[in-house]
Amino acid sequence: MTPNFENISKEYTLNVFSFTQDFFEFNWHFHPEYEITLILDGQGKRFLGNCAEDFYAQDLVFIGSKIPHTWKSEPQTGTSVSALVIQFSEALLQPIIELSEFSELKKWLDLSAFGLKIKTNDKILKKMQELEKWSGALQIIKFYELLWFLSQQKNEKLLTEAYEIDYSKKHQRITFLLDYLEHHFQNPCTIDEVAALLSLTKSGFAKFFKLQTGVCFSQYMNELRVKKAIKLLTETDQTIKEIYTHVGFENQAYFNRVFRNITSSTPKQYRIAQWGKNS
């Protein structure tokens, strides 16, 4: 199965987030960024490159750039799964990685091309969960500290040889396009406009986009805009109207319908549930 390319937001140099959901849905994908994923709760099957293993709570893996991966679990009534994810690009490491003092850390980072399973303990769990609470420069400093600490722990290679998906021109094209959409989502971004960016016909673009992302263009844009709206709903006091206008929806009725389809709640209900805010 061909993995889907996942475009990770470039809004921050370091992406740290946790989530809880009913179950892990199979989502075979890859991205240029490194990823450290800690399973906080749940069990199932972890797929990484050509390796498939059972996973349980406190499963911790370090995934190198462009290694396809996903987690899969079965939905069970009354249970949920949760994970903490850290994603970062090679650019974040440039200020330190060539320094002689970090030579051992560089060797460990290179091993991520094999996928590393890291033995966890209470100190690791605490450091990773605390990282999500920090922001800005302090979070990055704490992240460097966490990387060094993880490199000192017992770990095992998950792959017998370094694994990296073929990052061909088609993947470079989709990277360019998704980066463009990330910075122009407020605009109409019609399929004719974006197809022209890649010198493709409308039908050719539709096939290309679905093959590379796993979803049609309109669905991708709706999910991207709702993601941006959620950030504004939870982090600002902007009104619903200000938010749907800012993220590129033309009217509130359509915004509400799309938002409900994706989150199972209206924007107003979502804000109240998250922060007790009302607009």
Rounded alpha-carbon distances, angstroms, from residue 220 to 83, 88, 185, 216, 227: 23, 22, 11, 6, 11
- Identify the pLDDT of residue 12: 73
Assign 3-state DSSP to the chain and report helix, strand, coil percentages, each to 5: 45, 20, 35
Nearest-CA neighbor of 72 among 38, 26, 30? 26
Per-residue model confidence (pLDDT) at position 166? 60
**What is the end-to-end Cα distance of the chain in Å, rounded?**
45
CB atoms within 10 A of CB 78: 4
pLDDT below 70 — which residues of the chain?
1-2, 164-171, 276-279
The answer as to CATH 2.60.120.280 being correct for domain 4-157 is yes
Architecture of the domain delimited by 169-275 = Orthogonal Bundle (1.10)
H or E, element range at 257: helix 252-263
Q: What is the pTM of this model?
A: 0.67
Residues in the chain: 279
Helix (H) or strand (E) holding 218: helix 217-235
Distance CA 46, CA 56 (A): 9
Q: What are the boundaries of each domain within the chain?
A: 4-157, 169-275
| Phi-psi category of residue 214: left, alpha or beta, with phi > 0 → left and psi -120 to 50 → alpha | left
User: What 8-state DSSP symbol labels residue 76?
Assistant: -
Runs of H (alpha helix) within 10-167: 94-97, 103-110, 122-131, 136-151
Are 247 and 228 within 8 A, CB to CB?
A: yes
Tokens representing 78? 């009354």
Place of tokens 């970062």: 88
- Asked if 71 and 44 touch (Cβ cutoff 8 Å), the reply is yes
pLDDT, one tens digit per residue, over 94-149 is: 888 889 999 999 999 999 999 999 999 999 999 999 999 998 999 999 999 999 99
Amino acid letter, residue 30: F
Looking at residue 164, the DSSP 8-state letter turns out to be -
Cβ atoms of 13 and 92 closer than 8 Å: yes
What's the pLDDT score for residue 276?
A: 60
- The whole-angstrom separation of Cα 268 and Cα 270 is 5
Residue with tokens 């921050």: 12
- Residue 120 carries which side chain, given as an amino acid letter? T
Q: Which residues contact 228 (CB under 8 A, 6 or more apart)?
A: 185, 246, 247
Q: What is the pLDDT of residue 77?
A: 82
